[in-house]
Amino acid sequence: MLLLALWMATADPAQALLDQWVVAQNKGDFAAYERFYAQKFTGVRRSGPRVVRLDRKGWIKDRQRMFKHTMVVAASEVKIVKAGKGATVTFVQTWSAPESNYRDVGKKVIVLMPEGGALRIVREEMLESKLLGAETKAADNEKFALVVGGRVVITDEVMEPWSSGPPTRSMLDGPWEAIIRKVDAAKLPAPLRAWKGRKVRLFDFSGPVCDGTISGFEHVRRVVPHFSEKQDWKENKVPESEIAKSLWDEAAGSDLLLGTVDQGKKCKDAKWARGQSLPAPKMIAPEKADEKLAQKALREFRKLPAWKKVQADYQSEDGRKGNWDEYDNDKPEVKRLGPLVYVTAQAGSGCGDFGGRLFGMWEVAGDKLIPRYKPDEYDFLNPMAAVDVDGDGVLEILIDEGILRRSGDQYGSPEHLEVLDHDCPC
């Protein structure tokens, strides 16, 4: 902890705080990181064009998810301006996540003030954020792009000025509300604008569904509103235009740039897409593992640190016996996916009662199972298929609206589309 006394005794205490703040992130020390933030903190987070404003509670919750994975943070071009007992620190931050190949750079400012006898961060804002390799990512979508409602997801890094006009509710099928605005293609960066006229092949989780051409663009946001909102719309006969505007604002942060496909309804059940000129890769469907392999995988599953954490939570209630993954007559499932075997477990409702979910995956190598995915507590995935999308001989794992890619000997965090959920699950 950096005490206020350090401010008086050190030539550059603000620099010292900044250095320790960077170290805490690179070491994954969340407890140390959290202590830098004042109780009356406010922050602005930017990622490419996305802007999110948070209070301390929201900021810490958001950052806690980030600390579950390895990150590399660096601060350069540091400038410090002292003001009374505080200081304003501006610097260029480079942030990357090796597991997902995400990397951005931009100018950041943190404002420091004493609180409770210690120097704290009272405000933090990313003033600008440039996504490194964003154009490469757009080009990579030629090999693999997710599909929503028969539309191809061009990017989830969307600038609001790309679209204009009043938002309208869309007819996209899903358990969410979809709101759409018209896109001015002339405002799109060249790599994105070049998608118009591109020939694509759309697939479900078993193989090709349809061929088509990108005919235009849509800016879409998605949200699951609270049930009370829907009730209010009905009871108060809220005009459709007001509902759409309210949902558009509520769904900020779930932005997608979609490419419409000229084949329309023929492609509505597709899950992913790639350029027509590329070969259609072989799809591998999950199948039930044989009994011997299933028992071996289940033993490894129950050795996972994450499984043991859930088990401890399960046993914290007096009278509960056995394994959490068999609670309330539930059973874990073990399936084979080509050279991989995985276990999915869901038990209990969680609504005032115990609820547990977990996923683990291994590669079958003779009589051995080699871990290929390190789950966090309650980390759950449901693989739908395996496919080598980039032709490098390594399988990618497809999930609903997402994909797991392998880096080294492990599959990293899932890349999936964001849908904001504001409803009550119980």
Instruction: Return the domain boundaries, the chain.
Output: 4-131, 135-275, 287-382
Give pLDDT, residue 175: 85
132 confidence band (pLDDT: 50, 70, 90): low
Averaged pLDDT of the chain: 88
CB 148 within 8 A of CB 41: no
Domain 4-131 - what CATH class?
alpha beta
Q: Is 343 exposed, middle or buried (0-12, 13-18, 19+ CB in 10 A)?
A: buried
* CA distances (Å), origin 261, targets 152, 154, 165, 273, 382: 7, 12, 22, 11, 28
Distance CA 398, CA 270 (A): 13
Q: Enumerate the β-bridge partners of residue 109.
A: 90, 125
Burial of 232 (0-12, 13-18, 19+ CB in 10 A): middle
pLDDT given for residue 288 in this prediction: 96
Beta bridge partners of 227: none
pLDDT at 167 over 90: yes
* Residues composing the chain: 426
For residue 39, the tally of other CB atoms under 10 A from its CB is 11
* Residue 361 to residues 25, 343, 364, 369, Cα–Cα distance (Å): 28, 6, 10, 9
Per-residue pLDDT, averaged over 327-337, amounts to 95
Q: Is the pLDDT of residue 203 over 50?
A: yes
**What value, to the nearest 5°, has the Cα angle with vertex 134 and ends 66 and 164?**
95
- Helix, strand or coil, per DSSP, at residue 200: strand
Percentage of the chain lying above the pLDDT 90 cut? 59
Q: Could you tell me which residues come within 8 angstroms of residue 276 by beta carbon, excluding any fewer than 6 positions away? A: 199, 200, 201, 211
Alpha helices in 72-187 (DSSP H): 134-140
Dist. CA 172–CA 68, nearest whole Å? 33
34-59 per-position pLDDT tens digit: 999 999 898 887 665 556 778 898 89
The pLDDT of residue 121: 95
**Residue 8's pLDDT band (cuts 50, 70, 90):** very low
Q: What are the start-end ranges of the E strands in 196-240?
A: 199-203, 208-224
3-class secondary structure per residue, 110-125 = EEEEEECCEEEEEEEE
Quick check: 335 pLDDT over 80? yes
